[in-house]
Amino acid sequence: MMDGQPYVVMDYSFVKMQMRKPVAQVKMRNVISGKVVEKNFQQTDKFEEAEIEAKPVKFLYANKGEFWFCPARNASHSDAGGDPKKTGDGRFKLDAKLVKDYINLIKPNSIIEVMVFNEQNIGVKMPVKVELKVTEAPPSTKGNTAQGGTKQVKLETGATINVPLFINEGDVVRVNTDTHEYVERAEKGA
């Protein structure tokens, strides 16, 4: 916490110069606004840890730029709360800016985590990898594959990614949610 806002440290280095006190040079990102700042801190500087809670939620559907979720009901989790603008059945929508980087990798009924700070939804946390079915894939062509040829395919969520030439329609592939890149084939299609 700094200036009443939660930050996450992106890069850190400890610098000790001659005849001066050592300082920590920190590059950090404001979790709410996304703004990146660079600061120097002394050894005596102290900060309180931000209380950010992760609540599991289930993605229901997207409609006209609105993204609807509901609490993930599971024996190991209590009901996930969220937006005070909830409807009576527990459904609520998340702001498009919170899910825009990931929405093309989320299938309906997928469980993700919503990060909550001071009862305000500030972001989402996706699993590192997701498995998605290839719905459209051009046929593989023979040719120069010494450099590892790739082709672009469409996934069941509508996302398009580059994959190796041996991936076909119907295959299930693992995709890294941070980079939106192909990782491996999880299951070969029929």
pLDDT tens, residue by residue, 19-66: 788 898 999 988 888 889 999 988 888 888 888 898 999 999 888 888
Q: Tell me the whole-structure pTM to 2 decimals.
A: 0.69
129-187, superfamily in CATH?
A: Nucleic acid-binding proteins (2.40.50.140)
Query: Is the pLDDT confidence value at 77 over 60?
Result: no
DSSP string, 39-84: EEEETT---PPP-EEEEEEEEEEEETTEEEEEE--BTTBPPP---T
Q: Determine the pLDDT at residue 156.
A: 93
129-187 and 52-125 share a CATH fold: yes
Under DSSP, is residue 96 helix (H, G, I), strand (E, B) or coil?
helix
The two beta strands, 181-187 and 150-155, are unpaired
Q: pLDDT class for 15, splitting at 50, 70, 90?
A: confident
Q: What are phi and psi of 99, to 5 degrees?
A: -115, 0
DSSP 171: -
Give Dmax (Cα) for the chain. 70
Question: 161 falls in which pLDDT band (50, 70, 90)?
Answer: very high
How much is the pLDDT for 181?
Answer: 93
Which of 3.90.79.10, 3.40.50.2000, 2.40.50.140, 3.30.720.210 would CATH assign to domain 52-125?
2.40.50.140
CA-to-CA distance for 124 and 119, rounded, in angstroms? 14
- Residue 146: the pLDDT is 58
User: In this predicted model, what pLDDT tens digit does every residue of 87-103 receive, in sequence order?
Assistant: 445 888 888 888 888 88
Count other Cβ atoms within 10 Å, centred on residue 14.
10
Cα separation, 35 vs 29, whole angstroms: 6
* Domains in the chain: boundaries: 7-42, 52-125, 129-187
What is the rounded CA–CA span in Å between residue 95 and residue 49?
25
Taking only the tens place, the pLDDT of each residue in 105-133 is: 999 999 999 988 888 888 888 899 999 99
